[in-house]
């Protein structure tokens, strides 16, 4: 149950932080679909990695 709340917290944090990135300057013109898919996959990957990292740390120090 603790990992679920950690996922929710990290999801909000990642979405908030990705909002600051200007993806229009990174991708080519007229590649909106590819940019959207990349942005989505990047967000999902970051959420997964950060949540598992924090959960492993909390578990190793017996916090959760």
> Rounded to 5 degrees, what are φ and ψ at 31?
-120, 50
Number of CB atoms found within 10 A of residue 58's CB: 14
* Rounded CA separation 55/49 (Å): 10
- Show me where the domains of the chain are located: 2-60
* Rounded CA separation 27/59 (Å): 39
Per-residue pLDDT of the chain (64 residues; tens, 9 = 90+): 778 999 999 999 999 998 888 877 888 888 888 888 988 999 999 999 999 999 999 889 876 5
* Rounded CA separation 25/1 (Å): 40
pTM: 0.82
């Amino acid at each position: 149950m603790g990992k679920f709340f950690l996922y929710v917290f990290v999801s909000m944090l990642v979405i908030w932080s990705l909002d600051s990135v200007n993806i229009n300057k990174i991708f080519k013109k007229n590649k909106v679909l590819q940019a959207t898919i990349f942005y989505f996959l990047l967000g999902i990957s970051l959420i997964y990695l950060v949540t598992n990292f924090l959960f492993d740390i909390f578990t190793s120090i017996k916090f959760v």
